[in-house]
Amino acid sequence: MTQVERQAWDVVVVGAGGAGLRAAIAAREQGMRTAVICKSLFGKAHTVMAEGGIAASMGNVNEGDNWQVHFRDTMRGGKFLNHWRMAELHAREAPDRVWELETWGALFDRTADGRISQRNFGGHEYPRLAHVGDRTGLELIRTLQQKIVSLQQEDEREFGDHEARLKVFQECTVTRVLKEAGPAGGDGARVAGVFGYERESGRFFVIEAPSVVLATGGIGKSFKVTSNSWEYTGDGHALALLAGAPLINMEFVQFHPTGMVWPPSVKGILVTESVRGDGGVLRNSEGKRFMFDYIPEVFKDKYALTEEEGDRWYEDPDNNRRPPELLPRDEVARAINAEVKAGRGSPHGGVFLDVSTRMPAETIKRRLPSMHHQFKELADVDITAEPMEVGPTCHYVMGGVEVDPDTAAATGVPGLFAAGEVAGGMHGSNRLGGNSLSDLLVFGRRAGLYAARHAADVGADRPVVAAADAAAAEAEALRPFSAEEASAGPAGGPVENPYTLHQELQQAMNDLVGIIRRHEEMAEALHRLAGLRARARRAGVEGHRQFNPGWHLALDLRNMLLVSECVARAALERTESRGGHTRDDHPAMDRAWRTVNLQCRLATEEAQAAEPVGGAANGPVGVGDTGLAGGAASGAEPVAEPGLGGLVSDQSGQIALARKATPPIRPDLLQLFERDELVKYLTDEELSR
Amino acid sequence: MSYQAHFKVWRGDAEGGGLRDFTVEVNEGEVVLDIIHRLQATQAPDLAVRWNCKAGKCGSCSAEINGRPRLLCMTRMSVFEESETITVTPMRAFPVMRDLVTDVSFNYAKAREIPAFVPPAELGPGEYRMAQQDVERSQEFRKCIECFLCQDTCHVVRDFEENKAAFAGPRFLMRVAELDMHPLDAADEAGIDRKRTAQEEHGLGYCNITKCCTEVCPEGIRITDNALIPLKERAVDRKYDPLVWLGNKIRRRGQ
Amino acid sequence: MHGTLRAAIPERHLRTDRWWLPPAATAAGLLAFVVYSTWRAFSNADYYDAPYVSPFYSPCLAENCEPMRDGPNWALVGTWWGLSPAILILILPLGFRLTCYYYRKAYYRGFWASPPACAVPEPRQKYTGETRFPLIMQNIHRYFFYAAMLVASILTYDTVLAFRDEHYEWGHMGLGTVVFLANAVLLWMYTLSCHSCRHIVGGRLKHFSKHPVRYKLWGWVGKLNARHAKLAWYSLISVALADLYVYLLAIGAFDDPTIF
């Protein structure tokens, strides 16, 4: 086994989107030497795709706004499954995070009196989204990127080296979070660093660091129709699982109601919600504004019941209720799905989203420039003259690494932090538009800050990466080049093409664990996942390690299979419909489920014994190997590399599920709601407390 | 609807390489990047290509199609004749890493040479007040997705490698213009003269405004007219216009 | 870590379109104008036919000018000047157009092949752009802009004078008047659409919000500026046509059709 390159840093941030960069800035500003590792080029993160804006209750457009209102909207949007403390911190700190961006050079659109303009968005009571046209995510990334460059310029002046205290390792993939070795290497062992490879050269490296921040974004690439880019393979989710940290809320996957449906090659690409916020309406093939038929009971008093009232709202929001096109995303996505199923869809299987009859062409071009551009260039549709065709697309995963709300520390793995989409809890069962960018900033900063403090506390007592763990990680990463051996081994079979496996995985998740879910389908999904998992061990690639996309995909498959199983298992378990989880066989929200978070862990035999999962009919809980950190090779059948967890047992699965009580909401926060509203969500027991 | 197209794709690395022929299926509504992906999935699994959002928003999939710098994801197959041979090569102005992937670190090095935004000392977070018309010019430049096609097409560095040291390129001269037009940038107070350094340190004089950067910009930013020429005029104010110099002198004395 | 070599592509470029057409057309157009204007400027004849003076010879600044009643001939230069008086004044519009940000692009591409077209390589070993003499002189464009305003004003004055008949009676208009009017309008539009003008009018400001009038003006100039290239060609053609019209009248090819 060759000796891999090792470097030592204080804080490693995995991911360079909004959360990762904000974490890196926070850690560097604490004086920690900070390394950022990202799969793409610096500045290309998926955050650039965010269009609408950053939700922050600055009250620039409507003075009635404040953090309490924002908190309330967030909890409602998440159907009260949000971790209340995260929602509170988020609502309180978002304005500061936005204002701070201005001091780093961000240029938001302005109000008449020169403050940051704010726009309406689904689920937000007041105009709240700071924005720049419809390219807010790009502005966010560019601003953070330029702030990092400015910190590097400071270091250059001080140390003569731009990268003395802050370095971006671009086009590198992390495949394992490493923990300290030896007797301490069991449960509760500290994080010691990461193992990864340079995508360009295929060279492996180890970065030793006492703090690791996961900021890898989401999991959308496990689904066929998605707005997410290739990077969204659930890396951080899987890294956390493999390091022994649990995930929560994985059953909640947000399907954005409006993705492009045609042409096929761009199917899934996002059409921003601001199209609706600025006046766009949804119509079916009969020309009907169907959303008025889909206002759910809990929202009946908050939304316009007639087109006239809805139209008046754009001009006079204080005296009218908003149109139902601006219902939370899960409601709109389900409505579109139902219309299409009822045969009232558009020619390419979506519905019509129309701004052309609602605003003058010039206004459309000014307010929605990148949408105009996107449809013109990609679909040859002029949105100022004709309606768009849109349909739901997998957009965001609410679930993620279970974290401490204040410090963003992952549960049970000292030194591991998570922020942004990869962290769970903040958004409950459904995320409001605009709450993602603010989430990145608020919890990105917190993760960086507390990761830096953790690194400082560790001081000289730095955990050490065991050579054996690094070697095992290397062997794991090299496995796709020797697929013939796996093929010839006891679990033999033909060498598999990673692209084919990926397509089958996406199809299975899309069809069986998609926007509307059924018990039988999800059971079938778990069955197929088991088959794919076995075949993925024989995923083979040709050529060499230098910029080899087939190899990269073969490695990413492990992560996608892990998170897909989490989604499917948790979705099967939760026998109700709530937010981003809709069950055909359990169509109603069940207040009893509000007190339950489903927690996924990498399955171990002990875990299986200790945490039987109750509830609905449910397959056996997974049996698997222990994680890398666990160190002990289990006796489970064929183990490819000693010490490595993950892709071991076929039918039983790798994920163990546990029910965990949600923390009770602080009374003063509950008092922000009318009791009439609380009774819709909270159990009687909670209400009587 | 679908047909077989003839492609020539450059394959190789810094050691050498050449155009390879492929015949590949094309379906309605596809873009060049789809075809490259089909090649990866069916014929050349280790074909290296950089891409990300596939919607013209991240600027990763820059390459050259029939000799013209373009985003692979924003070039629709319908613009070509079915009988046409489509040639895809990596960006020429940068060192090649493998196949269609180039080493664009030149651009990141140049980004570091531009002094960052200087926040006004007297304003705290939340106190910034800027009029919409004052931010619009810089906002146009901030639409940049950093695909670096302008840097690739600019003959100053494309045809003359030795100019790379002295010339920031359109993208980063535009960054200077963006900061110089930022209504609250306090560079002056910090002793940074962006107008003068544009000419003296970032090589604005190399630009001969032949507008290839503007032609190639996938975001439609009017780089030459709105950033580079105004910046040249601002440099003239500092360096070549005795009237402006005299005016400033008198005004300063008057204060 | 990084390679330093570019991709080995033997072809100098891979463009398959007719990339050579625009620079060739530009070069041909400019060349045609240069030939015509050189001939006319040096001919020192047939530039006045009352009440019209060729724009190439206005203002006429030498002793040897043809007399033009009320016309812009001021003998700033004495009898020692034996060449065509056109040369004295044409320096200014020539300088304006030579340093114009649009024409620079046009002739750098068309005549210098620097570059001939986008992504088509330059046929030379070294390039320093506008960093040193003589091309660094392009930076004085704004002074030629001031001069061009003067010249445009005088040509406007000529246009006013064109509302006379051949006996200098006011209140008349011929086809020539229309030609002059069109030429004056196009010249003004070209001059005002200049990038230097855009800068001077408002572009140099940091805060538009504090200068609402200049911001408005900047907006208008910006709209014109977007059409600068077109206006450059239209005004180039119109000035040549105005001269050609006077020439044809002067040699008696036809009489100016009177409108009223």
Dmax over CA atoms of chain C, in Å, equals 83
Count of other CB atoms within 10 angstroms of residue A317: 16
Per-residue confidence (pLDDT) for residue C4, from 0 to 100: 65
| One-letter identity of residue A14 | V
Per-residue confidence (pLDDT) for residue A622, from 0 to 100: 34
Distance of alpha carbon C63 from alpha carbon C60, whole angstroms: 9
- Residue from A437, A351, A395 nearest A48 by CA: A437
Say yes or no for a CB contact (<8 Å) between C139 and B13. Answer: no
* Angle formed at CA B104 by CA B101 and CA B107, multiple of 5 degrees: 160
- Chain centroid to Cα A605, Å, comes to 29
> What total of structural domains would you count in chain C?
1
Topology of the domain comprising B3-102: Ubiquitin-like (UB roll) (3.10.20)
Give yes or no for a contact between C183 and C239, defined as CB atoms under 8 angstroms apart. Answer: yes
Smallest CA–CA distance from B175 into chain A, residue: A146
In the block, residue with structure tokens 């630009």: B207
What DSSP string describes A423-436?
B-STTTT-PPTTHH
Range in A542-546, B35-39, B145-149 with the lowest mean pLDDT: A542-546
CATH class, B105-254 region: mainly alpha
Say yes or no for a CB contact (<8 Å) between A133 and B139. Answer: yes
Smallest CA–CA distance from B41 into chain A, residue: A499
Say yes or no for a CB contact (<8 Å) between A547 and B135. Answer: no
- Helix, strand, or coil here: A510? helix
| Residue C94: burial class (beta carbons within 10 Å; 0-12, 13-18, 19+) | middle
- Residue from A222, A251, A223 nearest A573 by CA: A251
Mean of the pLDDT values across residues B178-207? Answer: 97
Dihedral Cα A593, A599, A604, A605, nearest 10 deg: -20
The verdict on A230 touching B (C-beta cutoff 8 Å) is yes
Count of other CB atoms within 10 angstroms of residue A120: 26
In a domain, C210, yes or no: yes
Per-residue confidence (pLDDT) for residue A277, from 0 to 100: 85
Catalytic residue, chosen from A28, A83, A142, A276, is A276
Kindly state the DSSP code that residue A630 receives in the 8-state scheme.
T
In a domain, C88, yes or no: yes
Kindly state the DSSP code that residue B25 receives in the 8-state scheme.
E
Mean pLDDT, each 10-residue run in order, chain A (689 residues): 82 98 98 97 93 94 96 96 98 98 98 96 92 93 98 97 97 96 69 95 96 97 92 96 97 94 86 87 95 90 91 89 89 91 92 93 87 87 94 95 98 97 97 96 98 96 91 94 76 85 95 94 96 92 85 95 97 95 94 96 63 38 33 36 40 87 95 94 87
Say yes or no for a CB contact (<8 Å) between B57 and A499. Answer: no
In a domain, C258, yes or no: no
Smallest CA–CA distance from B87 into chain C, residue: C14
Whether A83 is catalytic is no
Distance of alpha carbon A207 from alpha carbon A462, whole angstroms: 13
- To the nearest whole Å, the CA of C253 is away from the closest chain B CA by 42
Interval B94-145: pLDDT, tens: 999 999 999 999 999 999 999 999 999 999 999 999 999 999 999 999 999 9
Mean of the pLDDT values across residues B76-90? Answer: 95
Domains of chain A, earliest start first: 5-253+396-458 (3.50.50.60), 257-394 (3.90.700.10)
In a domain, C9, yes or no: no
Which positions 139-178 of C are in contact with B (Cβ < 8 Å)? 139-142
Per-residue confidence (pLDDT) for residue A490, from 0 to 100: 67
* Angle formed at CA B40 by CA B35 and CA B45, multiple of 5 degrees: 170
- Residue from B206, B205, B225, B229 nearest B215 by CA: B225
| Residue A258: burial class (beta carbons within 10 Å; 0-12, 13-18, 19+) | buried
Nearest to B237 among C5, C130, C204 (CB): C204
Which residue segment(s) compose the domain that C197 sits in? 21-119+128-250
Per-residue confidence (pLDDT) for residue A366, from 0 to 100: 84
- To the nearest whole Å, the CA of B58 is away from the closest chain C CA by 23
Which positions 24-63 of B are in contact with C (Cβ < 8 Å)? none
Q: Which residues of B touch C13 (CB under 8 A)?
A: 67
In a domain, C46, yes or no: yes
- Helix, strand, or coil here: A596? strand
Joined together, the tokens standing for residue C34 give 């240069």
The verdict on A186 touching B (C-beta cutoff 8 Å) is no
- What ipTM was estimated for this complex? 0.95
Mutation site for C-interface testing, chosen from B159, B163, B226 by largest number of C Cβ within 10 Å: B159
In a domain, C11, yes or no: no
Say yes or no for a CB contact (<8 Å) between C6 and B96. Answer: yes
Start-end of H helices in B75-129? 105-113
Chain A: partners with 3+ C-beta pairs within 8 Å: B
Kindly state the DSSP code that residue C200 receives in the 8-state scheme.
I
Average pLDDT, chain B: 94
* B-C Cβ pairs (cutoff 8 Å, strict): 154
In a domain, C70, yes or no: yes
User: Confidence band (pLDDT; 50, 70, 90) for B53?
Assistant: confident
Q: pLDDT at residue C171 above 70?
A: yes
- Taking phi first (over 0 means left), then psi (-120 to 50 degrees means alpha), and beta for anything else, what does residue C256 get? beta
The residue among B255 and A518 whose pLDDT is bigger is: A518
Per-residue confidence (pLDDT) for residue B216, from 0 to 100: 97
Instruction: Kindly report the pTM of this predicted structure.
Output: 0.92
Count CA atoms within 13 Å of residue B130 on its CB side.
29
Mean of the pLDDT values across residues C85-109? Answer: 96
Say yes or no for a CB contact (<8 Å) between B230 and C203. Answer: yes
User: Do the strands A204-208 and A5-8 form a parallel or antiparallel pair, or are they unpaired?
Assistant: parallel
Domain map (residue ranges) of chain B: 3-102, 105-254
Nearest to A115 among B76, B129, B138 (CB): B129
Per-residue confidence (pLDDT) for residue A543, from 0 to 100: 82
Give yes or no for a contact between A304 and A321, defined as CB atoms under 8 angstroms apart. Answer: yes
In a domain, C222, yes or no: yes
- Residue from C93, C102, C65 nearest C239 by CA: C93
Whether A276 is catalytic is yes
Q: Which residues of B touch C3 (CB under 8 A)?
A: 13-14, 95-97, 103
Per-residue confidence (pLDDT) for residue C68, from 0 to 100: 87
